[in-house]
Structure 1
Amino acid sequence: MMTFDEIKTLLTDKFGADAIMDAETSGLQPAILINPEMIVKVCEELRDNEKTWFDFLSCLSGIDHGIESNKFSVVYHLASIPYNRQLVLKVVKEHSRNSENLPVFHSVSGVWHTAEWHEREAYDLVGIRFEGHPDMRRILLPDDWEGYPLRKDYQAAEEYKGIKIN
């Protein structure tokens, strides 16, 4: 079973120094920050490489880092069932807060089909679009819902179709 540092080295050797932006090692689960343009190739490598075999996407979450930072990220929790190992990957992008122009990340639904539902949740609640997703539409809220409830600048409506919300 490969260590966290060995996985970082494997990815750097395979894709070059530009693939890894940084690493977070101070939290409960260390994370590798991946260049957003490389996320699909990195995920394919981690799934297919016999040294890693991250065959399951446990969770994918969209995050709004706040109005001041104008950053959005996606966090991927991977699991290797054969090796009983977990790994966290993150991608971060700066993006304006214009609701007409949503942040876009590459879909990993071609790597793990479970990503289809997770990416739809991130779209529905945070307003992150996933390029290459086969069915990018709301999954929890009605199709005509305005806004993205987990964004830091979300303003809740007072009612929806005559039903009081607040």
Structure 2
Amino acid sequence: MSVDAIQFKNALKLWASGVTVVTAQSADQGAKGMTATSFSSVSVDPPQILVCLNKITDTGGALLESRHFAVNILASDQQDASNQFAGNCTQAERFASVTWEAGDNGAPLLSKALVSLECKVVQQIQAGTHWIVIGEVEKVVCRGGEPLLYYSGAYRQLSQA
């Protein structure tokens, strides 16, 4: 028996996660970015993370072209940025809505993100409709604040016990 797409998506809604914006710089097309919740640490030595990106996205194309990217972990007050980078608008419109600067590897770092990780691609694996991209973290920028969380189709915040 096979699990259908709706059943699969409904099950995964019950996984609480942080929210990231993955960014890359294309030599031909400029800054690219997209919201992603498929993000995880992989290794401490060497420091590695992974992101999963749909193969048809222009952000994924820029990332694989440049072989460098950044993962910007969003802060609790960045719901608008998350929505903008997930929406059906141009890349120029996405980046116009946030303050950012180019990192050492050229990938855009969102200035108000909780954390920005600058990475180089060390491996890419095709899995169905997506690329699993493993990146070695070359630089970390940490800022203060609380994380933006996503659970059951809605943004959440940490409760103070």
Fold match by TM threshold 0.5: no
Q: Higher strand proportion, which one? A: 2
Compute the TM-score of the two structures, normalised by the length of structure 1.
0.27
Q: Which has the larger radius of gyration?
A: 1
